[in-house]
Structure 1
């Protein structure tokens, strides 16, 4: 009987991309229809979703040609095509995490009024950009010529980076990635606690905004499989790395999108009668933005790479709308790119 882990990979990929897509659609609905405040963080998350779809498509195509099966059970042509799709998955993964991390960082910049928090976020984003660039470079140029990664199945000439160098870089990346994710996840606790909201509202809001650290779980779990890069049966032995890389993308996009859905929850609560707020005119979910993108009250414009309005430090609006008072980073402004990669290839024969 031929061992085949391909269906396992295909099932995980299909589930994660579907879950992330639903969360992404809800995010876009909230920002465009409810708040009318589509920003750069939303655009980057859409980009991440598109790259995740590309990853899923390439992974499923790879399963069709041999990913998840032993080399001995595949033809050279099947190995060639499966490895080529695997290489494309590397690229899609890197670009997906680029978009997700930039989006999460920009979202946190929207809701924090303190300069020290800005510097923390900038530092984390810069660190992920640096490690991402290194890993994207290694991913693309791990073999020379590039086509040797999949062409070796048909006897092509070339060479690849020493596998232990790649393993060392992968561990280093994973540690930095986990630290950055947990920083993004813990920072909202400090941000929310300074808001003029009830204690119960703060307790309810903190888990939503701290979802950024969820993806780090997949990073940590994947570290246990990194040594499987040392193998003579690449397409079969590295399935776990592929699975957890896909889980990381799905969790990052889903969690990053769920953190923006509080207005939708408030609207649903009002219409279903779950809300305890008094209301005589129906749900009070509305946009707090004028045409310039700033809220109509407590405007505080900052100079530099980003400018935005902070939440009202006191008053009823904080309690009514929470973080919906924040101004989005507008599309005409610019951002620092973030790049991020992970599992990489090597000579597979």
Structure 2
């Protein structure tokens, strides 16, 4: 049995993705502002995408009240005009939402990309997204002349040919699909080249590629594009309305979820699931007793009650002999047999048995990129 009213389905999709988009974006902002303290261009773009998406949802819900998703014969002329008007406004907000969301995803991937070729590919993806999205925006804006002729047919005016609109929409969708695939494949290549365990790579790839799941909705939407020419416009294009909403909601939600790894690590540490060492840069001179034991370094890694940093990967300790000269001292030390050297993970520095000397200890920490 055919459905004569799709407005309730559209309403449910709008509210669902509005909630997920707002929550995920707020969590993203919390991570970037409070956890890693690095609010960047990608975050501003995603905030802009969320604002645009909220405006899209507002227009969609108002349009739904006037008749989007219903047959024209069941509507009053005034409701038809208002529904078509808000449908047109939705198409504009759709363009700006996707431009901002995909730009955010591209900028996010630039945070983890170091190879020049990959960087230029991402710049190409961002530029293509902005250019095609801008063209689509203005094509929709000036689809009819005058603009109001799109929803008000009680005046003289013209609109672009329906076949042209359909072909143009397919072309725009094709570019969007290509850029989505590039943003999906590139993280896999980048992560696979990292020096980490295979399990960690497999776990990280889906997180980074999550921002491109909106392409699934895009593929489904392709099957409804031909309905632009349908005379029962508001009812026939229900699929475009629903899947445009889904595509934007997935782009904003998944694009924000991809940045929440530091928050997951923080929760894991709070729950005792994962632990990590502290993050310290310490450069100090300490006397070493004749027994070969080094005194405690105040503020050194793991000592006292100093809170542990979530993002520290590993700590290296270097000992220089001030009586020697640079490389000669290090080379001489490297030739010694340190098999009996005691160590303490709690103190976070190496204990060296060098009697009656002043040792210069420099502790370095390599921090992970906190994306």
Q: State the TM-score, normalizing by the size of structure 2.
A: 0.75
Q: Which residue of 1 aligns with 2:203?
A: 204
Higher CA-based Rg: 2
Deviation at 1:38, TM superposition (A): 0.6
Separation in 2, partners of 1:270, 1:276: 5
Q: Which residue of 2 aligns with 1:236?
A: 235
Separation in 2, partners of 1:124, 1:136: 18
Q: Which residue of 2 aligns with 1:9?
A: 10
Q: Deviations over 1:62-97 (max 9, x none)?
A: 011111111111111111111111111011111111
Separation in 2, partners of 1:126, 1:134: 12
Unaligned runs of 5+ in 2: 279-301, 314-363
Q: Deviations over 1:114-137 (max 9, x none)?
A: 110111111112222221122111
Q: Which residue of 2 aligns with 1:22?
A: 23
Deviation at 1:190, TM superposition (A): 1.4
Deviation at 1:284, TM superposition (A): 2.7
Deviation at 1:316, TM superposition (A): 7.3
Separation in 2, partners of 1:226, 1:177: 15
- Is contact 1:20-1:49 (8 Å) kept? yes
Deviation at 1:196, TM superposition (A): 2.8
Deviation at 1:227, TM superposition (A): 0.8
Q: 2:73 aligned with 1:72, yes or no?
A: yes
Q: State the TM-score, normalizing by the size of structure 1.
A: 0.80
Distance 1:254 1:317, change over 3 A: farther
SS in 1 for 2:111: helix
Query: Which structure carries more relative contact order (alpha carbon 8 Å, separation 6+)?
Result: 1
Q: Which residue of 2 aligns with 1:142?
A: 143
Deviation at 1:54, TM superposition (A): 0.4
Count, aligned residues: 294
Q: CA RMSD in A?
A: 2.1
Name whichever structure is richer in strand by fraction: 2
Name whichever structure is richer in helix by fraction: 1
- Is contact 1:36-1:287 (8 Å) kept? no
Q: Deviations over 1:141-165 (max 9, x none)?
A: 111100011111xx22211100000
Unaligned runs of 5+ in 1: 289-314, 327-349
Moved more, 207-216 or 40-49: 207-216
Separation in 2, partners of 1:36, 1:226: 43
Separation in 1, partners of 2:60, 2:308: 43
